[in-house]
Amino acid sequence: MDPVETITVEDTTVGCDGGTLGHPLVYLNLGPGGEVDCPYCGRRYVLAEGVQPGGGH
């Protein structure tokens, strides 16, 4: 399944509720590659360029 949309984020943990599609709120951790797909709606979250995973927390 192709991602519905790609969202650039600046943190390695994101919450997804499916937006207009709607689904339970899930928290996702971006992997070592800096991206993750929501298992419910398929949205792809990608770490912004230049942001270091795990930095600052």
Confidence class for position 50, pLDDT limits 50, 70, 90: confident
Chain centroid to Cα 13, Å, comes to: 7
Its pTM stands at 0.81
Once rounded to an integer, what is the mean pLDDT over residues 20-24? Answer: 86
Domain 6-47 fold? HSP40/DNAj peptide-binding domain (2.60.260)
Q: Percentage of the chain with pLDDT > 70?
A: 84
Average pLDDT, the chain: 87
Q: What's 49's DSSP letter? A: T
pLDDT top residue among 40 and 4: 40
Q: In what order do the strands lie in the sheet with 44-47?
A: 6-9, 44-47, 35-37
Compute the distance between CA of residue 40 and CA of residue 48 in angstroms, rounded to an integer. 22
Q: What's 33's DSSP letter? A: T
For the chain, count helices (H), then strands (E). 0, 5
